[in-house]
Structure 1
Amino acid sequence: MNAVRSSRSAAAPVSAEHLTHPRSLAAFRATKLLLGGYLGISVLTLVAIVLLRDDSADVNSAVWVRGTIVVVSALVTYGCAVRAARGSRSAYRRLRVISGVMVVAIAAIIALPGAFPLWMKAEQGLCGVLLIAVVALVNGSHLRSLFASK
């Protein structure tokens, strides 16, 4: 296991020249902007959940759990984007995985009948659109080649 770990950490770091390339800067700027929107919407949704907590038709336990998970995942994803923009290969991998998984989870929430109110499904749909754009950016050929193991 140590041999595997040391070979991963021995990968050449992403050069500052590649990170400051105009295409890299634009991709990370757009990614952070989209994830900032995702985080903002997620926090506003959690605020709405708190304000609507006495309305059992609009806020049930599934809404509380999902709302909390989304804020945490938005914070983690944004942090990964910031670290990836600084050259962290592991943060870039996490960013790709988390954003993809969240898109699938959002699709499931929208498709599942009953557990979530319509307002939350609409909010999740908006978050999904932002995350689909993130997935497209971070899985694009430029960023993939930037973080490819050398």
Structure 2
Amino acid sequence: MNAARSSQSASAPVSAERLNHPRSLATFRSTKLLVGGYLGISVLTLVAIVLLRNDSAAVTPAVWVRGTIVVASALLTYLCAIRAARGSRSAYRRLRIITGVMVVAIAAIIALPGAFPVWMKAEQAACGAPLIALAALVNGKYLRSLFAAK
């Protein structure tokens, strides 16, 4: 019975009182701004890919794939941030996982020689900056304690 109760409390949303605390509100505002920046950069990059599609040196098949994946992950990250701000523990967990995976993927893309054009590596660095800040924020002590199962 304790296992069932523990499982239930782990999936229960965070209380409105804790979510509406001024520090929680400020933290989620920062989270949404960082994710919004990541999403904005990602969408602008996809627009650039479409505009440069006839330049085979600038837009390789890998650029198309990566650009599309980044927009999809940024959109998913944004949705998770919105749900986490509403108290969803599962969305918060996903937010932590996605930001960590994307930071590692961006680092790999920047480090891989020749796989992507220089402009795409620079764009990935621009995406990485808000993602690193976001990863630090969502993995910080305050949000971890806010979403800890009680």
- The verdict on a shared fold, with TM-score over 0.5 as the criterion, is yes
Distance in 1 (alpha carbons) for counterparts of 2:7 and 2:102: 26
Deviation at 1:22, TM superposition (A): 1.0
Give the aligned CA root-mean-square deviation in angstroms: 1.6
1:58 aligned partner, one-letter code: A
2:49 aligned partner, one-letter code: I
Distance in 2 (alpha carbons) for counterparts of 1:66 and 1:41: 13
Deviation at 1:89, TM superposition (A): 0.2
Which 4+ residue blocks in structure 1 deviate beyond 6 angstroms?
Answer: none
Distance in 1 (alpha carbons) for counterparts of 2:135 and 2:88: 17
Deviation at 1:78, TM superposition (A): 0.3
Which SS does the other structure have where 2:45 is aligned? helix
Q: What residue in structure 1 maps to residue 80 of structure 2?
A: 80
Distance in 1 (alpha carbons) for counterparts of 2:26 and 2:117: 36
Distance in 2 (alpha carbons) for counterparts of 1:126 and 1:73: 15
Q: What residue in structure 1 maps to residue 54 of structure 2?
A: 54
Q: What residue in structure 1 maps to residue 7 of structure 2?
A: 8
Q: Which runs of 5+ in 1 are unaligned?
A: none
Deviation at 1:13, TM superposition (A): 2.9
Distance in 1 (alpha carbons) for counterparts of 2:147 and 2:33: 20
Deviation at 1:10, TM superposition (A): 4.0
Which SS does the other structure have where 2:114 is aligned? coil
Distance in 1 (alpha carbons) for counterparts of 2:39 and 2:7: 31
Which SS does the other structure have where 2:113 is aligned? coil
Count of residue pairs the alignment pairs up = 148
